[in-house]
Amino acid sequence: MAGSGKAHLGGDDALLRVEDLVVEFPTNTKGHKVHAVTGISLDVRPGETLGLVGESGCGKSTTGRAILQLPQPTGGMVRFDGTDITKLDGEELRQVRTDMQMIFQDPISSLNPRRSVLDIVMEPLKIWNIGTPEEQLQKAKDVLRTVGIDADLVGDRKPSQFSGGQCQRICVARALVLDPKLIICDEPVSALDVSVQAQVLNLLEDLKAKYGLALIFIAHDLAVVKNISDRIVVMYLGKMCEVAKSDDLYARPMHPYTNALLRAIPVPDPTVRPNSENRIAGEIPSPVSPPSGCRFRTRCPAVTEVCAQDEPQLRAMGDGHFVACHHPIAV
Amino acid sequence: MSLSSNGRETPLLEIQNVKTHFRTKRGVVRAVDGVSLTLERGRTLGVVGESGSGKSILVRSIMGLLPMRNIVREGSVRFDGTELLHLSRNDMRDYWGKEMAIIFQDPMTALNPVMKVGKQITEGLIRSLGMSKSDAFANAEKLMADVGIPEPTRRLNEYPHQLSGGMRQRVMIAVALAAGPRLLFADEPTTALDVTVQAQILDLLAAQQRDRNMSMILVTHDLGVVAGRSDDIAVMYAGRIVEKAPTRSLFANMKMPYTEALLRSIPRLDQPSHTRLQSISGLPPNLLVQSVGCRFAARCPYAVERCRVEEPALVESDVPGHFYACHYPVGSIEWQNAQDRLTTSSVVAGGH
């Protein structure tokens, strides 16, 4: 578990290709670093939804941000649409970023509370000076309508006058207004009620079909990620555990961590009693001094000596299924 | 243990027609508007609803935790036979901790950030149970071990910010359990946590409940969380209970279209990916406006004219103990007709 490797990367048709991404942060103690992301490789094809899943602290949000160069990764390559964007300087990077947008977890705090909804959605067009003011207004209204908000009725309202789900729709509209190729969604539905979560997930699916968008969908709930993604990368403590097509990952999880994540999801069926077998105990270790070898070994039910010594590499298990584990679950 | 006049054991908690209205500048907000519930000893009741359905206000109202000003509380809250609704805050202190306790959603804001964990746990022991400080600390250490905190002795001397989210929630549980309550309220206890930790915390609550023979009210917006962990479920919508049943009966035979919609909006692992989820369109009603008709009618796909003018009462179905408030419950002939109408119209509209 929790290993490295690039075996799962596809050909050159990828919209985004990330290799050996490393993100480290300094700590107050000299000589110590937070190893947030340690050697993540992934690719996203045009029109594909890639899910990134793992517990808090596994580095999934940091990976999403580092792809956008927010902050610049410590190491590794991020090639977007043929360009290695880690090599770009300020202005070039700004240009590229119009094609990559982000949606955050808390929709209310990511909208300026003092500005009207139309203003918020028009802002990117104003910054890039795209079209006349009338065209900008029209474009913003169109995009808001696509996400289900009637700008003629409520366009001059402030974010506080909308519910959480509606605010998330406004965030989606703002991300869409520049016609990006890739949207990184960082836990976009975690703060929402299940009923509203379903609305936003359906909306993202519709937009993806309509605009041919590629999405990176980051979340800790594997059921949500499975619903929306084509492929899923399971992360643990800054490393990759397993990469597979969504349905495969559920049908035959090979990594003990993936299995534990799947088993932890409550089943909305009272005839299925919660089963505390397969439960992983404890919590994710500190990324300041991650365990040697496989990073999951301290909580793994299948751990042996080799796990402490050698870091497992991602290896192909057939049909686009990859796992980084010395003792994968037999199919 | 008290017995009622007919010789049956009285339920631990019995609330009748509880209303909790807030007087605000914009008018009266009817957050809880006539809720009746019964909870037996040792049982778990799940209270499920969206944000704003009044579920959290209901538990705070039962416990008497709401501020006194500008709030109207009516109805009856009987705990082990004693009426609590009109008790003063001072009298309620005898119940908090010893008889009933609560765990909140966000352990970071519920714990005092500038007080060591040990002090927060022992506070209740010293105050409610009159323990000496050293006894209280010995007890706290045992409690910390009970709730699965490694190295309890060291952790007692730490502040909440030094603990992870899951550990903080365990501390919250230890604080709540400290004085041995007979009724535990858990208000979205796992919503802020990872799924893996959520499973651990729910396991822990179930084990503690069993060991202590506590009753529990588990409040959540996720039907999945309560499905395997409650004896009964009450579904709340806009301040009222719209369906109430033994858990198995509820899932086997949902009556209320709202409950059905809540269940269908949960993404399920056993469905293929990209399965379209059924969302509930629209928003919950404005609680400032006195409603006419069924409160869910505006969002209900099956609603007809009668639903908009006549509020359905909570009635018992043919399964004893299964109550619902709907004129045309799921499975009825009228519901079937509405279903057929919907299917036809969506085919005409291009199958959207």
- The string of pLDDT tens digits covering residues B68-105 is 889 999 999 999 999 999 899 999 999 999 999 999 98
pLDDT beyond 50 at A53: yes
Contact B268 A260 (CB under 8 A): no
| Nearest C-alpha neighbor of A297 from the set A325, A320, A269 | A325
| Mean pLDDT (whole number) for B53-71 | 93
How far apart, in whole angstroms, are the C-alpha atoms of residue B273 and residue A47? 15
Residue A166 has φ and ψ, to the nearest 5°, of -70, -40
What is the reported pLDDT for B350?
Answer: 39
pLDDT tens column, B208-249:
999 999 999 999 998 989 999 999 999 999 999 999 999 999
Give bridge partners of residue A23 from the DSSP assignment.
Answer: A37
How close B337 comes to chain A (CA, Å)?
Answer: 25
The answer to whether A229 contacts B197, with C-beta atoms less than 8 Å apart, is no
pLDDT value of residue A3:
66
Give me the residues paired with residue A284 across strands: none
Q: Which of A163, A199, A274 sits opposite B228 (nearest CB)?
A: A274
User: For residue B279, which residues of chain A lie inside 8 Å, CB to CB?
Assistant: 195-196, 198-199, 202
Query: Residues B140-183: pLDDT tens digits?
Result: 999 999 898 988 999 999 999 999 888 899 999 999 999 999 99
Tell me what pLDDT residue A180 has: 95
Residue to test with chain A: of B277, B280, B286, B352, most A Cβ within 10 A:
B277
Per residue in A94-123, pLDDT (tens digit) is 999 999 999 998 888 899 999 999 999 999
Cα gap B167→B188, rounded to integer Å? 16
pLDDT at position B196: 86
The whole-number average pLDDT for the span B42-48 is 96
Distance CA B206, CA B225 (A): 12
Q: Residue B346's pLDDT is what?
A: 56
Do residue A227 and residue B275 have CB atoms under 8 angstroms apart?
yes
pTM of the complete model: 0.88
pLDDT for residue B352: 38
Triad A182, A186, A188: Cα angle to 5°: 100
Q: How many cross-chain Cβ pairs, A to B, lie less than 8 Å apart?
A: 135
User: For chain A, percent helix, then strand, then coil, each to nearest 5?
Assistant: 35, 20, 45
Which residues in B lie closer than 8 A to residue A268 (C-beta atoms)? 223-224, 227, 251, 263, 266, 268
Contact B281 A199 (CB under 8 A): yes
Which among B203, B248, B269 is the nearest to A265, CB-wise? B269
Of the pLDDT bands very low, low, confident and very high (cuts 50, 70, 90), residue B108 is confident
User: By CA distance, what is B223's nearest residue in A?
Assistant: A268
Q: Are A219 and A190 in contact (CB under 8 A)?
A: yes
Note the pLDDT of residue B165. Answer: 85
C-alpha angle with apex B300: B299 to B304, nearest 5 degrees? 120
Please tell me the predicted confidence (pLDDT) of residue B280: 87
Q: How confident is the model at residue B107 (pLDDT cuts 50, 70, 90)?
A: confident
Helices (H), A73-150: 90-97, 117-128, 133-146
**CA-based Rg of chain B, rounded to a whole angstrom?**
22
A93: closest CA of chain B, how far (Å)? 33
Tell me which residue in A221, A230, A268 faces B195 most closely, judged by beta carbons.
A221
Radius of gyration of chain A (CA): 21
Give contacts of B260 with chain A, Cβ < 8 Å. Answer: none
pLDDT above 70 for B271: yes
Distance in Å, alpha carbon of B85 to nearest chain A alpha carbon: 31
Tell me how close the Cα of B192 comes to any Cα of chain A, in angstroms.
Answer: 9
Residue A294 confidence class, pLDDT cut points 50, 70, 90:
very high
> Are B247 and A270 an interchain contact pair (Cβ–Cβ within 8 Å)?
yes
Phi, psi (degrees; rounded to nearest 5) at B323 = -110, 150
Confidence of residue A272 (pLDDT cuts 50, 70, 90): confident
Q: Is the pLDDT of residue A77 over 90?
A: yes
Considering only alpha carbons, which residue of chain A is nearest residue B53?
Answer: A193
pLDDT of residue A325: 95
Q: What is the pLDDT of residue B349?
A: 43
Q: What is the pLDDT of residues B238-251, one digit of tens each?
A: 999 999 999 999 99
Q: By the 8 A CB rule, do B191 and A266 touch? A: no
Q: How many helices (H) and strands (E) does chain A have?
A: 11, 12
Residue B340, classified by CB atoms within 10 Å of its CB into exposed (0-12), middle (13-18) or buried (19+), is exposed
Residues of chain B with Cβ-Cβ distance to A276 below 8 Å are: 199, 203
Q: How confident is the model at residue A89 (pLDDT cuts 50, 70, 90)?
A: confident
Chain B positions touching A280 (Cβ under 8 A) are 196
Residue numbers in B near A228 (CB within 8 A): 273-274
CA distance B311 to chain A (A): 23
Please indicate whether, in this complex, the C-beta atoms of A268 and B251 are within 8 angstroms of each other.
yes
Disruptive mutation site among B50, B233, B274, B276 for chain A (greatest number of A CBs within 10 Å) = B274
What are φ and ψ of residue A111, in 5° steps? Answer: -115, 140
Element (H, E) at B119: helix B117-129
| Mean pLDDT score, B110-123 | 94
Share of chain B above pLDDT 70, in %: 95
Choose from A190, A193, A288 for mutation: most chain B CBs within 10 A.
A193
Alpha-carbon gap, residue B308 to B330, rounded angstroms: 17
